[in-house]
Amino acid sequence: MITADFVIVNANELVTLKGKSDKPQTREELGELRIVRDGAVAARDGRIVAVGTTRQVLDRVEKGCEVVDASGKLVTPGLIDPHVHLIFGGSREEELEQMAVKSVPYLEIKARGGGMPITLKTTAETSTEELLKRTTHVLDTMLIHGTTTVEAKSGYEMTLQGEIRQLEIIKALNETHPVELVSTFMAQGIPVEYADRVDDLTDEVVEKWVPEVAERELAEYCDVFCEKGYFNVAQSKRILEAGRKYGMKPRIHADWLAHSGGAKLGAELNVVSADHLIFTPPGEIDGLVKKGIIGTFLPTTPFCYLGVYAKARDIINRGLPVALGTDLSAADMCESMQMMMTIAILQMRMTTEEALTAATINAAHAIERAREIGSLEEGKKADIIVFDAPNHKYFSYHYGVNLAEKVFKDGELVAERGRRIG
């Protein structure tokens, strides 16, 4: 017999994603959720200690622990968001409406003085205390929607001190907030004074910022915005190579607004994840496949204003393992991975099973945490969500609401019915 702190029983569907931690899932593997009917999962000291049918688990667990009844419900691993621009000041709802309703292109908004430069300014003007307060609220919202681990990028100040401040905020929140944060230094926006001197900015990033971030041990990854009007391929390459030299593994924003060469560079540098991939030609997708790189789809900007999605069906058929992320940023804000699955299913034509795999175990692979999280298996972290839904197909059927009823992080009940606990 084993002892447990609690056991969740009678789940109509318990989505385990068992046996998928060794490598990212591709093609038909994306459709295999490994569901247990009338399922149960038990946890002790923050770890999963038993998974199976309710009868199997109750037969193994000593009597007397807390029992959570999930009759008629769906139980899954905690959702994982592998792409978030977490720290920023101000908001840009006016320009979002211009892009969405009036079809003003993003680069035109930027040329008019809006877009990222505004956020670099408003973030720099926001106190650390205020940034902590705002970001805590964002993380609370993620948590109550079932997201238990988040990759968090800096990049909204683009000064040495500002980037250090952002990464220190991420570090502080990781120590205090239940959501687990994975930290990324990102060369994102181009400050106005560097608009015509991006090579000079690249020199700064490579020679001063990256070594300083590494010295302070503030980031696990280095990311870059490889896009027209931001960093070109040569500059992106210099930044990611500098990051690697100082121990930060590379990830890349590629082919978001246009074909930028970012995915090709990502394959060349063997990045951990190449993200967006909206305008990536098939041959360059194949280059990522050959290297075993994960492609992370970020459906929010296409949903809000771009109108063009990554070609999910073709990309999956070519064998690329795919993850899903919110890309929450100052440009548009959505904390909900449930919403990402809904868009991926209804607009990108991913199946519900593919979308859920992309939001759990493959998202865990995208941040190299698949041995710890992303599936319900003995020994893994007890990050578990009870959804007020009878089965996983509800992510496309009952949308625009929060279906997460109970959220467990590291074996603690941290949110229930839309409220944070503790």
What does the binding site for Zn ion look like in residue numbers (CB under 5 A)?
A: 327
**Residue 339 CB, nearest approach to Zn ion (Å):** 16
Strands, DSSP E only, in 255-348? 273-276, 294-297, 322-324
Contact (CB, 8 A) for 403 and 390: no
When CB distances to Zn ion are compared, the closest residue is: 327
Give the bridge partners for 221, in sequence order: 184, 249
Structure-block tokens of residue 262: 């970012």
Nearer to Zn ion, 39 or 155 (CB): 155
**Residue 252 CB, nearest approach to Zn ion (Å):** 10
**Residue 226 CB, nearest approach to Zn ion (Å):** 11
Nearer to Zn ion, 33 or 226 (CB): 226
**Residue 352 CB, nearest approach to Zn ion (Å):** 25
Taken in order 235, 91, 311, 340, is the CA torsion positive or negative? positive
**Residue 8 CB, nearest approach to Zn ion (Å):** 34
Nearer to Zn ion, 126 or 188 (CB): 188
244: helix, coil or strand? helix
Structure-block tokens of residue 173: 């929140």
How many C-beta neighbours within 10 Å does residue 283 have? 10
Query: Which CA distances in Å does 241 have to 225, 264, 308?
Result: 14, 15, 31
Nearer to Zn ion, 83 or 165 (CB): 83
Q: Which residues of 323-344 are buried (b: 16+ CB within 10 A; e: fewer)?
A: bbbbbbbbbbbbbbbbbbbbbb
Nearer to Zn ion, 227 or 354 (CB): 227
Task: Name the CA dihedral angle for 115, 117, 121, 123, rounded to a multiple of 10 degrees.
Answer: 60
Biggest CA-to-CA distance, the chain:
69
Rounded Cα–Cα distance for residues 310 and 278 (Å) = 4
Nearer to Zn ion, 50 or 257 (CB): 257
**Residue 394 CB, nearest approach to Zn ion (Å):** 28
What is the pairing mode between strands 74-77 and 6-15?
Answer: parallel
Tell me the angle at which helices 262-269 and 282-291 cross, rounded to the nearest 10 degrees. 20
**Residue 274 CB, nearest approach to Zn ion (Å):** 12
Nearer to Zn ion, 151 or 327 (CB): 327
* Nearest partner of 29 among 246, 320, 386, judged by Cα: 320
Rounded Cα–Cα distance for residues 195 and 208 (Å) = 19
Nearer to Zn ion, 255 or 327 (CB): 327
**Residue 179 CB, nearest approach to Zn ion (Å):** 18
Nearer to Zn ion, 140 or 327 (CB): 327
Rounded Cα–Cα distance for residues 262 and 13 (Å) = 40
**Residue 107 CB, nearest approach to Zn ion (Å):** 16
